[in-house]
Structure 1
Amino acid sequence: MRPVRSSRSAPGNRGPALPVTLRADVLASFVVFLVALPLCVGIAVASGVPAELGLVTGIVGGLVVGVLPGSSLQVSGPAAGLTVLVHEAVDTYGLAALGAVTVLAGLLQIGLGLLHLGRWFRAISLAVVQGMLAGIGLVIVLGQVYALADTAQPSGGVRKIAELPSLARSVASGGAPLTAFLVGAGTIAVLVLWPRLPGRFRVVPAPLAAVALSTAVVAVGDLNVAKVRVSGLLDAVDVPGTAAFGALGGLAAVGTVLAFALIASAESLFSAAAVDRMHDGPRTDYDKELLAQGVGNTVSGALGALPLTAVIVRSAANVQAGARTSASRVLHGVWLLLFAALLPGVLSVIPLTALAGVLVHAGGKLIPVKDLAPLWREHRGEALVLAATATCVLVTNLFEGVLFGLLLSVVKTAWDTSRLHIEVHTLTGGRLLATVTGNATFLRLPRILEQLESLPRDRPIELDLTGLRHLDHACRTALDGWAARHSVSGTEPVRVRLPTAL
């Protein structure tokens, strides 16, 4: 992408650069709108809420977040990464409480932004983030593969896996499930093959092309597949009342709000870091971006809509389409609003299986299949954290999976930093010198004691700890205990040399 140009006149130009910039932003906004439209609708349907709420969330992402400072080129809206969490919240607390959860999550994000904590989200282990996204991708794929066949998906990742043979038998038996599955599979095939077509075809974004072609096939063939239900934009908006907030008094609800806020924040700020690498314009202010996302979620929740995040698919489309300023993301919200107001009936002809195909493809892209083998060869511990996080997200839920991944990452880091080396040398007179270097923490305590306790008791021993960079309380106490025991049973007391800093 070329650098963002100044609005001043360049030598030799007849007029200011502003019209050029505006034209680029308008064209980019149409591309982002065409990418966002099927994703907004598909994510809403997959989350178990009316399709119109996905459009409302996309509109807020454009018109509200788009005008706020933070990141100038990334685009916000409903995210596939929150689909699982939203579905669980709707199942647990009801659709009416979804807006309340989103409002509270938005207010929490605003608080985090005001406390200047946005930059700290960049300190989260990349393996945990990739594991979280991989787990979300697995849950989306396993859930939406049932929607491909117009079949209700079972709850829980384990049941989704266990009932796959039953789904396969249902599809193989023919009839409506097979018809729907073929339409959905065709949608995925278009998404996979579309980037390989000549450039004149790729002017139309792949998700829009795939959904449009599947819709045309269903219409021409008069196929019996389920379609999106439409009730109208204003009918879908449901401002949460006191009863909706009152339903969130339990500890589990607090965990849900925290999960919404933290995961949406992390996804948005990691997306910002990725988008910044794609252009040479202004860099993201992470605290301001977190504030903008919080305001967006507060407004979206006040309308009873979905939580929003910055979305890398739309943001990448915006940059690649030549956007210069934040006007492109604001205008994409305008086009979504006009579509929802003037052409809502178009949604009712879209097959659900086509939207499921879009989400299966999106979920699959969240799983870093190509990165796993190199990561395993070069950073085996990081690969284990990634796999464990993804597995935990799949078998439990998103919040618990991420917490487990963070805990595992902390333990791994502590283990890596507590590297320890013990050497035993024989000095003149038969005296043994045990030298311990590195970081002595409780994680390495079993190894230290095993090696020291294996030393002979009939020879004088000197324990040199001056090479330690860190000696925690557990190790200090254990080493003092070992020295006392060895001194009683040995030929003479153990001499211990400690570093002056410790």
Structure 2
Amino acid sequence: MLGTRMSAFLKLSKRDLKYDLPASIVVFLVALPLCLGIAMASGAPLFAGVLTGVIGGIVVASISGSPLSVSGPAAGLTVIVLGAIQDLGAYETFTLAVLIAGAVQLVLGILKAGMIGNYFPSAVILGMLAAIGITIILKQLPLAVGLSESHAFELDNGGGITAFSDTIFSAVNWGAAIICFLSLAILIYWPKIKTLNKVPAPLVVVLVGVGLSMAFAGSSWGLNPDHLVSIPVVSSFTEFTGLFVFPDFTQILNKDVWIVAFTIAIIASLETLLSIEAIDKLDPFKRNSPTNRELLAQGVGNMTSGLLGGLPMTSVIVRSSANANAGGRTRQSAIFHGIWLLAALVAIPSLINLIPLSCLAAILLHTGYKLANPALFKKIYHKGLDQFIPFTITVVAIVATDLLMGVGIGIVVATFYILRANMQNAYKFNIEEGDFKNEATLTLAEEVSFLNKVPIQQKLYNLPKSVNRVVINGQHSKFIDKDVIEVIKDFEQNALSKGLEIELNDINYKKKTYRKKQKLQKVI
């Protein structure tokens, strides 16, 4: 039975190989610098970042049921990881927390906690995609022109704008900028040439970037080592195995390890579920990924990563969107991308280190623009303010803070609009005027919750003075909250005192629902 399930997990599609193989190269080219950058930002060994990408591709994708999801070290966890490594005092202790976090995710998958992701509003998910696109663009712009982050904010005292401009332009490496601009042109126009578009544009970008980097060597446009990819170079199997870091199991009873583990497990699971929901929206075939199985896959992946000295991983929207945009069809694209990462790490690290960061930045700039396309903002705006406002606030909040905080703010705003719509749609109301009677009819909705109490109460107690007959119809309601029943019951007594004629249909006064029709004559 287990063998049958594993064969189902690992089943590949020869039919889709012509789509998945080129897409895997694109994802590999996008993932490599991201793995290295996230490792650096997390205060972890560079090897750990690439190792996590390998595990995310080969291990997680083999178990996952998502056709387009690509897992790896997540930028959203860098602050948590950096703080955890510092607080725990040793990287070996941190990897133990990663292993435990994976076990927690495994339990969440078994308990079928993946359904949580289905309750996130679509406006928030689309806002998350757009915000990630904007964040990618902002983060890659310095690399695109050969700037470091320190250059961008380096000002001479008293220099003002002039000093800022002088500093920026003097720090720009024009060789890197030319490579980036040419790379963007290739990414935009290469796919439009039918005779050439069978070769992936990002692969062409890398080849052109390496060629120009060599051509610029020795000139004023020459690239520095900081402008190139840098991964560890090993010359023997012993050196390779020496890069692995194993957990310190002597710290298993350390409460701080468990706090870090549960924090990583919860945040990584939420990021994964959000990403899976977003990735399914990018899927041209509109397939639904099994979220519980994804949690199981992430659990196994993080346990493996922690055991071998890697970083915590999630399903990552940047790599996944690159996979979808490159034409990936099945999860074998993610598996192959993991194989390419492993091959680059072991076989050709010196060649990979020739790739300019600026041409990889161009790939990410192009991906970021697709995620934050102005047409998306226009499309959401035409859906109405109840969609556009949560969408926009989510975008701004994520860019200004971080992924989880921004999504949380977006969900709060979206929930407000959901509740408001629910309150407004609690009933239908109309008044029919006659010669002797003006009849007001209030027809309750199918679901009437306690949130509808106030609008129904306000409508009943603010009837026009001309109304002398009221009909409250609950025939279409499957559920009426007890608080609303009390409001109707009190209004009935109020109607008697005012001499109104009232009719109640299918209003639940007791535990059983019954049809009640009565006419109360005017009290003299």
Task: Give the TM-score taking structure 2 as reference length.
Answer: 0.71
| Residue type at the aligned position of 2:315 | T
Instruction: Give the Cα separation in 1 of the matches to 2:186 and 2:321.
Output: 17
In structure 2, the residue matched to 1:9 is none
Question: For residue 481 of structure 2, what is the aligned residue in structure 1?
Answer: 472
Match of 1:212 in 2: 207
Cα separation, 2, equivalents of 1:168 and 1:358: 31
Provide Cα deviations, 1:37-92, integer angstroms capped at 9, x if missing partner: 32122212442255544432232134323443635x5463427xx32x13322343
Correspondences of 1:302-321 after superposition (within 5 Å): 302=307, 303-309=309-315, 311-313=319-321, 315-316=323-324
Q: Structure 1 317/128 Cα, relative in aligned 2: closer, same or farther at 3 Å?
A: closer
TM-aligned CA deviation for residue 208 of structure 1: 3.0
Distance in structure 2 (CA, Å) of the matches to 1:183 and 1:167: 27
Counting only pairs closer than 5 Å after superposition, residues 150-165 of structure 1 correspond to structure 2 as 150-152=147-149
- The 2-side partners of 1:135 and 1:308 are apart by 18
**CA distance, structure 1, for counterparts of residue 127 and residue 386 of structure 2:** 13
Residue 387 (1) aligns with residue 396 (2) = no
Q: Which residue of 49, 59, 68 corresponds with 1:64? A: 59
Question: What is the RMSD computed on CA atoms of the aligned residues?
Answer: 4.2
- Is 1:277 the counterpart of 2:285? The answer is yes
- The amino acid across from 1:137 in the alignment is G
Q: C-alpha offsets along residues 117-169 of structure 1, whole Å, 9 cap, x if unaligned? A: 446645543322211222222222222223434232799xxxxxxxxx97995
| Distance verdict in 2 for CA 1:154–1:479, change over 3 Å | farther
Equivalents in 1 of 2:69, 2:443: separation in Å?
A: 53
Aligned length in residues? 459
The residue number in structure 1 matching 2:191 is 195
Tell me the CA shift for residue 94 of structure 1: 3.6
One-letter amino acid of the counterpart of residue 367, structure 2: A
Inter-CA distance 99–428: structure 2 relative to 1 (3 Å threshold): farther
Distance 1:67 1:98, change over 3 A: same
**TM alignment of 1:40-189, pairs within 5 A:** 40-47=31-38, 48-49=41-42, 51-68=46-63, 70-71=65-66, 74=68, 76-78=70-72, 82-83=74-75, 85-94=76-85, 96=91, 99=95, 102-118=98-114, 121-122=117-118, 124-148=120-144, 149-152=146-149, 169-170=164-165, 173-179=168-174, 180-189=176-185
Is 1:352 matched with 2:360?
A: no
Residues 383-406 of structure 1: CA deviation (Å, up to 9, x unaligned): 333222222222232112223333
In structure 1, C-alpha distance between the alignment counterparts of 2:467 and 2:69, rounded to whole Å: 71
Aligned partner of 1:497 in structure 2 is: 504
Q: Does the 8 Å CA contact 2:438/2:466 hold for their aligned counterparts?
A: no
Structure 1 counterpart of 2:268, which letter?
Answer: F
SS at match of 1:421: strand
- Are the structure 2 counterparts of residues 285 and 236 from structure 1 closer, same or farther at C-alpha, using a change threshold of 3 Å? same
Unaligned runs of 5+ in 2: 1-11, 153-159, 234-239, 514-524
Superposition deviation, residue 277 in structure 1: 1.6
Q: CA contact under 8 A between 1:105 and 1:261: conserved in structure 2?
A: no
- Whether the 8 Å CA contact 2:213–2:356 is kept in 1: the answer is yes
> 1:187 is aligned with what amino acid?
S
What CA distance in whole angstroms lies between the structure 2 residues aligned with 1:316 and 1:24?
Answer: 13
Answer yes or no: is the 8 Å Cα contact 1:278–1:319 preserved in 2: no
Contact 1:171 1:178 in 2 (8 A): no
Q: Check conservation: 1:185, 1:357, Cα contact below 8 A.
A: yes
Tell whether the 8 Å contact from 1:136 to 1:366 is kept in structure 2 after alignment. yes
Q: Report the alpha carbon displacement of residue 307 of structure 1 after superposing the two structures with TM.
A: 0.9
Alignment of 1:295 with 2:300, yes or no, is: yes
TM-aligned CA distance change 1:357 to 1:90, over 3 Å: farther
Q: Distance in 1 between matches of 2:324 and 2:467?
A: 69
Counterparts of residues 361-380 of structure 1 (less than 5 Å): 361-380=366-385
Residue 26 of structure 2 corresponds to: 35
Contact 1:275/1:312 (8 A) holds in 2 = no
SS in 1 for 2:432: strand
Partners of 1:298 and 1:379 lie apart in 2 by 44
Counterpart of 1:229 in structure 2 is 230
Task: State the match for 1:455 in structure 2.
Answer: 463
Q: Does 1:437 align with 2:444?
A: yes
Change (3 A) 1:455 1:121: closer
Task: For 2:189, give the aligned amino acid.
Answer: L
Paired with 1:306 and 1:196, the residues of 2 have a C-alpha distance of 38
Matched with 1:14 is none
For 2:193 and 2:165, locate their aligned partners in 1 and report how far apart those are by CA, in whole Å: 34
Alpha-carbon distance in 1 for matches of 2:163, 2:285: 42
Tell whether the 8 Å contact from 1:41 to 1:51 is kept in structure 2 after alignment.
no
**2: CA distance between counterparts of 1:337 and 1:401?**
34
The alpha-carbon deviation at position 341 of structure 1 amounts to 0.8
Q: Contact 2:298/2:313 (CA < 8 Å) preserved in 1? A: no
Q: What percentage of aligned pairs have identical amino acids?
A: 20
Asked if 1 retains the 8 angstrom alpha-carbon contact of 2:98 and 2:264, the reply is no
Output the CA distance in 2 between the equivalents of 1:86 and 1:352: 23
Q: Deviations along 1:212-254, whole A, 9 cap, x unmatched?
A: 323332332132442333334656544444669754555x975
Deviation at 1:484, TM superposition (A): 5.2
Three-state SS of the structure 2 residue aligned to 1:112 is helix
Counterparts in 2 of 1:395 and 1:493: CA distance versus 1, 3 Å? same
Q: One-letter code of the match for 1:353?
A: S
Contact residue 61 and residue 71 of structure 2 kept, 8 A: no
In 2, Cα distance between equivalents of 1:426 and 1:23: 69
Tell me which of 431, 434, 450 is aligned to 1:424: 431
Q: CA deviation at 1:340?
A: 0.9
Cα 1:433–1:278 shift into 2, 3 Å: closer
TM-score for both structures, normalised by structure 1: 0.74
CA displacement at 1:22 relative to structure 2: 6.2
Q: Unmatched 5+ residue regions in structure 1? A: 1-19, 156-164
CA apart distance, 1:260 = 1.2
8 Å Cα contact 1:265-1:293 kept in structure 2 = no
